Amino acid sequence: MAEPQKILEEVGSRLGEKVLESRRLEASGAVAVTVDRHDLPAAAAFLDRELDARFVISVGTDLRDAGQGFRVDHIFSQDVRKTWILLRAYAPAEDPAVPSITPEVPAAAWAEREFQDMLGIRADGHPDPRRLVLADDWPEGLHPLRRDVPYDVHPEPVSGVAPPMAAPPGNAVTIPIGPFFPVLEEPTFLKVFADGEEVVGLDYRGFFNHRGIEKLGDSKLTYNEVPFVAERICGSCGFVHSTSYAQAVENAAGVEVPLRAKYIRSIVLELERIHSHLLWLGIAGHILGFDTVLMQTWRMREPLMWLMERLTGNRKSYGMNLVGGVRKDIPKEQHAEIIRVLDEIEREWRKVMKAVLDDTPLLMRLSKVGVLSRQDARNLGSVGPTARGSAQPIDTRINHPYAAFDRIEVKGVWKESCDAAGRTLVRLEEALESIRQVKLLLSEMPEGPILHTFTEPIPAGLEGVSAVEAGRGEVIHYVITGEDARLYRWRVRAPTYANLQALAASLKGMSIADVPITLGSMDPCFSCTERLQVVDVRSRRVRVFTPQELREMTRTRRIPAEGGQ
């Protein structure tokens, strides 16, 4: 008997009458269990503790069109048994509230705050019900992911509104890290409380650049437009998002993707991971003032970027994925070049690894820094190298195999040291493992088509889940199909969302000097935005540059005239 079926029966026998409905989402490797909303905390506690299922994310859905009120899904992953568990409950439209599961499952803290913000479904009993995603001047009662709110709503900005943030405990001083800080390439605000050099607490406000991509995906874009937007969720792991999205829709619709397309996806995903780990090591070096590491790893990365441009047409944001397969083949003639580039990276990477492992001052800055205990990593829902550096044997390629990863052996890398050094070693070794995988995939890649041909439209009301292991950790996409070749609901969880929630735990007791590298060791990614806005301070006039103008600026080194080329 398949694991999902067994899990359904275990849940049924254990929760008994509390289970109102249960079913399998066959292609996604998922089961959905519906309980009364008041039973959510107890059921979540059972999944977490007795079934050893790891909390992943919550999805709030506005089903008022269908007369079903609101629905909340808490997605869990039983990693060993390779099954997603969707614990769901309904809340009536006139009383949009569910009891919070955060007191039982701390990893759900942000997810519940998010559906409070975005759908106006209250999480009653949440220990920290402050706003998470919505801007501080966003009007009360306007919940953007409700279906009656248009995607392009623009409330009037209000000035002088500040987020309600914690005060420093005792005599501690506030060290503001962000919203803009030298080693944070993206805006976020960490209010670090320090006693002398020692960190004694932390408060967080982020989501400053929330772009409302989910809303765009379930109101404006069609199925095959979404992959290109999904790719813009993250500048360095874009292909992860487009793959994860496409697979979620394919799982929902029960589409069989040609095998060759699966291999191509796996190859591009692993090439993206190699690039991501090279990029990360450089940034980690920079954070510690070791710019030679930054410059050299980024130099090593460059041939990979050129390779990707030749394979896909772009250095990044490859634009390769569609629902049902990929747009571009990797013909035999390109294999030798891929292998040549990988061989060169491997040769240099081994030297880098040796240099890092032999560098006493560097190890002094990484060992016992940003300590995240196994228990915290598990309970706060950490993923990717952050979790694997804390001895959590979770890797989506192994736990929920996708693309061609069920056809090759994936060697998971995890370390016991639970610190920044552990996370570094995980990435160092993983890059080599990815090189091995790409070579293996290339040699085994079967012939055949690369794109599924649709003969009829995808029916509405189907659900799909798919996760992909990004360089930073597990990315998960959940979809509900809708009418007019559009999604009804699209939910995305990027790995940083999970990992940042463990930051407070891993910073406690560290020195201020360790804050940047602790954060950096999680490879955070908050909001990749390439947007240049110039404000004339005298006239208060704002000019936003278009992508074309930015490109022109990089080529001509002149600011283009407004409105023209």
Partner 1 sequence: MSATTAVVLQSVAYLALVLFASPLLEGVMRKVKAIIHSRKGPPIIQPYLDLAKLLIKEDLASEPGLIARLAPPAAFASVLAAAFFVPFGIGAPARSAGDLFLFIYLITLSSACIMAGGLAHSSPFSHVGSSREMMMVVTVEGVIITSLLIVGVSGHTGLLSDLTATPFRWSFLLGLVCYLFAMQALLGKLPFDIPEAEQEIMEGPFIEYSGPSLALFKWAFYMKQLIFGSLFFGLFVGWPHLTGWGVVGSLVNFVVNFAAVLVLSLLVVLVDATNPRLRIDQSLRFFAGLIGVALLGVGLAAFGL
In the complex, least distance from residue 554 CB atom to partner 1, rounded to whole angstroms: 17
Q: Is 164 in the site for partner 1 (CB under 8 A)?
A: no
- Positions 496 through 515 that interact with partner 1 (CB under 8 A): 511-515
CA distance 88 to 33: 6
In the complex, least distance from residue 181 CB atom to partner 1, rounded to whole angstroms: 7
Q: Which residue has the tokens 């909340």?
A: 72
In the complex, least distance from residue 365 CB atom to partner 1, rounded to whole angstroms: 5
Quick check: 175 and 192 in contact, CB under 8 A? yes
CA distance 47 to 254: 27
SS (H, E, C) 88-148: EEEECCCCCEEECCCCCCHHHHHHHHHHHHHHCCEEECCCCCCCCCCCCCCCCCCCCCCCC
73 vs 419, beta carbon nearer partner 1: 419
Task: Tell me how crowded residue 179 is: count the other CB atoms within 10 A of its CB.
Answer: 16
Q: Is 165 in the site for partner 1 (CB under 8 A)?
A: no
Which backbone phi and psi does 550 adopt, to 5 degrees?
-65, -40
In the complex, least distance from residue 457 CB atom to partner 1, rounded to whole angstroms: 52
Q: Is 266 in the site for partner 1 (CB under 8 A)?
A: no
Q: Is 286 in the site for partner 1 (CB under 8 A)?
A: yes
Among positions 285, 370, 381, 482, the unique one binding partner 1 when judged by CB under 8 A: 285
Bridge partners of residue 91, in order along the sequence: 70
Q: Is 353 in the site for partner 1 (CB under 8 A)?
A: no
Q: Quick one: tokens of 128?
A: 């920290």
SS3 at position 435: helix
Q: Quick one: tokens of 36?
A: 């009364």
Q: Is 167 in the site for partner 1 (CB under 8 A)?
A: no
Among positions 80, 161, 173, 544, the unique one binding partner 1 when judged by CB under 8 A: 173
Among positions 30, 288, 345, 505, the unique one binding partner 1 when judged by CB under 8 A: 288
Q: Is 295 in the site for partner 1 (CB under 8 A)?
A: yes
Measure the CA dihedral 174/179/181/184, to 10°: 120
Among positions 63, 147, 174, 195, the unique one binding partner 1 when judged by CB under 8 A: 174
In the complex, least distance from residue 357 CB atom to partner 1, rounded to whole angstroms: 14
- Positions 434 through 493 that interact with partner 1 (CB under 8 A): none
Long-range interactions of 538-545: CB distance < 8 A, separation 24+ = none
- Span of 7-15, 135-143, 176-184, 240-248 interacting with partner 1 by CB under 8 A: 176-184
At what angle are helices 420-444 and 335-358 packed, to 10 degrees? Answer: 160
- Positions 177 through 196 that interact with partner 1 (CB under 8 A): 181-183, 194, 196
In the complex, least distance from residue 206 CB atom to partner 1, rounded to whole angstroms: 20
At a CB cut-off of 8 Å and minimum separation 6, what does 21 contact? Answer: 32, 33, 34
Size of interface with partner 1, in residues (CB under 8 A): 33
Point out which residues bind partner 1 (CB under 8 A). 173-176, 181-183, 194, 196-197, 285-292, 294-296, 299, 359, 361-362, 364-365, 511-516
